[in-house]
């Protein structure tokens, strides 16, 4: 499990290092991003000449559903992914060991409460 976490962190860090220079280079300015924000803050509402504002999508904003449904779908998708991951033999064996340890501690707690 630690190896999998280490690999995931290494991939995330490598990806962020590869993407970050591109984001700064795409800006085209030599100043810091905060300077760019300050310079463009005054004319943020101005639309340049010749620029057409795109029409809104047919159904409005991208998010039109209800929050409870979206949260349910997010939790269901997460649970499904974790369920698939938990079926790999090494992970399944570790989960069974943790469950056995939890059951032992639970029984010890129950025995301590009855005394």
User: Per-domain residue ranges for the chain?
Assistant: 82-115
Could you tell me the pTM of the whole model?
0.35
Sequential DSSP letters for 3-50: HHHHHHHHHHHHHHHHHHHHHHHHH--SS-HHHHHHHHHTTTTPPPTT
Average pLDDT of the chain, as a whole number: 75
- Could you read off the pLDDT of 42-89 as tens digits, one per residue? 665 677 778 887 777 665 665 556 778 778 888 999 999 999 998 999
Most distant CA atoms of the chain, gap in Å: 82
């Amino acid at each position: 499990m630690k190896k999998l976490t280490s690999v995931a962190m290494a991939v995330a860090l490598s990806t962020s290092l590869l993407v970050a220079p591109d984001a700064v280079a795409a800006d085209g300015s030599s100043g810091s991003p905060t300077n760019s924000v300050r310079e463009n803050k005054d004319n943020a509402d101005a639309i340049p000449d010749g620029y057409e504002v795109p029409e809104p999508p047919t159904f409005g904003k991208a998010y039109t559903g209800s929050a409870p449904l979206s949260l349910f779908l997010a939790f269901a998708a997460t649970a499904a992914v974790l369920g698939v991951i938990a079926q790999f033999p090494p992970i399944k064996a570790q989960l069974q060991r943790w469950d056995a340890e939890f059951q032992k501690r639970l029984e010890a707690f129950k025995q301590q409460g009855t005394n």
